[in-house]
Structure 1
Amino acid sequence: MKFFLLQYEVAFRIATITLNRPDKRNALNGAMVAELRQAFAAAAADEDVKVIVLKGNGEAFCAGADLDYLQQLQQNTYEENLADSKELMQLFKEIYQLDKVVIAQVEGHAVAGGCGLVTVCDLSYVVPEAMLGYTEVKIGFVPALVAVFLVRKIGEGRARELLLTGRLVTAEKAARDGLITAVVPAAEITAHVAKVATSLCNEASGNSLKVTKKLIGTVLDLPMKNGLEHAAELNAATRGHEDCKRGIAAFLNKEKLVW
């Protein structure tokens, strides 16, 4: 599969998807969104891939929507804009619901739609110099799609602060608010993300990661009674899975298991 706006590689069961429009600060347009969907679909379908890392080339992780793209949207009909919006919706949804763990490696600013990408990743590690935020209200737009995921992730109060003010915040504040996982120095971030991804590959069952991620994404939509029933069913089903049998046998026999 050939990409023009991304770089895609697989090594040691880790797929790395790199936004590659550094001259445009990795800004999003229709073509970039389409390629991202294709890349994540390829990683999802590849049995040799267990973890996915999303990063960007250049000074910015992703600066949001491309300026030329924004100008084009002004000429679109409502129907055309709705179809275009649904493409980005599908990308966010696919990353959020993907069976495999997705890690954002953020080495520059993540703004608007770029911060949306960070929001839907499972784990995110960010350099101290990066600023993050949703600036849509400052240009008369609305952070509609990301709001659905952000409220779930950090709660209504903190989401209101970020989405209504449109302010960019430091990586440290983003970490305190629960928007990102941790702040990591620039000199260490590549090695740190590789260590986390490798640990997930070698120390965690692929089935357990998939089921746990699905449970986290599902349980918030259910009343507590239904959520607990669903959890009990997953618990019972997982006990019969081959991964669980291997894991328990290794634990009882004091054997180190490499997944």
Structure 2
Amino acid sequence: MIVEKSTYRRLPALARTDRPGDAIPAPKSRGSNPAMPRYESPYDPSMMPKNLEHIVYEKKGHVAYVRINRPDVRNALHSYAYAELRSCWRDIGIDPNIYCGIVTGTGEAFCAGRDVKFLAQYQAQGKRTPHEDPTSPLFFWGGGGQPSDVSLDKPLICALNGFAVGVGLSLALQCQLRVMADDAWIGDTHTLVGRLGAPHKIYQALPPAIAAYLTLCNGRLNAQECLQYALVNKVVPKAQLMAAAEKLAEMICMGSPLATQAAVRLFRLAAEQPDALIAYARHLDQETAESEDGAEGPRAFKEKRKPVWKSR
């Protein structure tokens, strides 16, 4: 939902959001700038994202449901799915009636990561994918369609219905609470396709040796191992997964929305990496993406063969 500045309602002495539709950032203290105005847009339910092609988005009571719906590619994400996800995060952030969200996937997978075949098709033409191409309208929506892209301050519950790898694992890690089907697993396969991903986020969420195993050895953890390392709150049979997630949502909704969002904001700030590290991670990711190996990985995946790495 994008609202023109002319429709904003001016409120005194708080901070302003500069990106229309994004979640409103934490206000500056009155002591630092007491005259700074805040602009808020009234929420219009008719602007809720509808007719999405790759994501199913629903609301029930105070809970928003986000379901990745590309089962034919095991819910792998491409530029258009990223954009739809981001529109859902933005809507959750600005709808005052929504207190939390549940994120899951359709079919056997939660998310198989990035759609590497989609990536390979663009690379074969010497092009960047739309959300990475400055000339594309989707470039504004860049990144991986993650909640952090809009500074979402409402809690998310990840219902891991199946395996989560690559960017799918990154999405799961951005949720504050996680329940997992007993036959699900997680992994990081970025290096297999010559990419980097977000190893610093994995390193932050798991014991160092386990994080290194996932990232460097393309390892995987099953549901019980995820529970052992406190990566998930609960492991249940798949038939009970959504009920377990909804129970957590019910508990969240019992609390003050204002206090809950403040807590999530502090969680996010406490987990943020230094700006220099984030900038360097983006630089390395771009560097690997534009390397010969970065092109070889998706090409080999599409051609169903082992990649031939050149280390350049």
The two structures share one fold, judged by TM-score above 0.5: yes
Cα contact 1:135–1:168 (8 A) shared by 2? no
Larger mean Cα displacement after TM superposition, 182-191 or 81-90: 81-90
SS of 2:238's equivalent in the other structure is: coil
Look up the equivalent residue of 1:88 and give its one-letter code.
G
The Cα shift of 1:56 comes to 0.9
Q: Using structure 1 for the length normalisation, give the TM-score.
A: 0.76
Q: Which has the higher helix share?
A: 1
Deviations 1:20-45 (A, max 9, x none): 11112111000000000001101111
Partner of residue 242, structure 2? 190
SS of 2:179's equivalent in the other structure is: strand
User: What percentage of residue pairs aligned between the two structures are identical?
Assistant: 27
Q: How does 1:30-179 map to 2 (within 5 A)?
A: 30-74=79-123, 75-76=126-127, 81=132, 87-89=142-144, 91-94=146-149, 97-143=151-197, 146-179=198-231
Q: How does 1:190-209 map to 2 (within 5 A)?
A: 190-202=242-254, 204-209=255-260
Q: Using structure 2 for the length normalisation, give the TM-score.
A: 0.64
Cα contact 1:120–1:149 (8 A) shared by 2? no
The Cα shift of 1:71 comes to 0.6
Q: 1:132 to 1:215 in 2, by over 3 A?
A: same
Across the aligned residues of Structure 1 and Structure 2, the Cα RMSD in angstroms comes to 2.6
Partner of residue 32, structure 2? none
Structure 2: 5+ residue runs without aligned partners? 1-48, 275-312
Partner of residue 244, structure 1? none
Larger mean Cα displacement after TM superposition, 134-143 or 24-33: 134-143
The Cα shift of 1:154 comes to 2.3
The Cα shift of 1:116 comes to 1.2
Rounded to whole Å, the distance in 2 between the matches of 1:69 and 1:117 is 19
Look up the equivalent residue of 2:165 and give its one-letter code.
V
Rounded to whole Å, the distance in 1 between the matches of 2:200 and 2:273 is 16
SS of 2:232's equivalent in the other structure is: coil
Rounded to whole Å, the distance in 1 between the matches of 2:81 and 2:247 is 28
Aligned length: 219
Look up the equivalent residue of 2:199 and give its one-letter code.
A
Deviations 1:165-208 (A, max 9, x none): 11122111122223322212112111111111011102x11122
Rounded to whole Å, the distance in 1 between the matches of 2:273 and 2:238 is 40
1:14 maps to 2:63? yes
Runs of 4+ with deviation above 4 angstroms = 77-86, 220-223
Structure 1: 5+ residue runs without aligned partners? 224-259
Deviations 1:103-131 (A, max 9, x none): 11111111111111111111111101112
The Cα shift of 1:220 comes to 4.7
Cα contact 1:20–1:26 (8 A) shared by 2? yes
Deviations 1:47-84 (A, max 9, x none): 11001011111111111121332213523359984766
Cα contact 2:82–2:144 (8 A) shared by 1? no
Rounded to whole Å, the distance in 2 between the matches of 1:43 and 1:6 is 14
Cα contact 2:153–2:261 (8 A) shared by 1? yes
Look up the equivalent residue of 2:149 and give its one-letter code.
E
Rounded to whole Å, the distance in 1 between the matches of 2:189 and 2:149 is 23
Rounded to whole Å, the distance in 2 between the matches of 1:19 and 1:222 is 28
Rounded to whole Å, the distance in 2 between the matches of 1:92 and 1:72 is 27
1:5 maps to 2:57? no
Rounded to whole Å, the distance in 2 between the matches of 1:80 and 1:210 is 29
Cα contact 1:119–1:180 (8 A) shared by 2? no
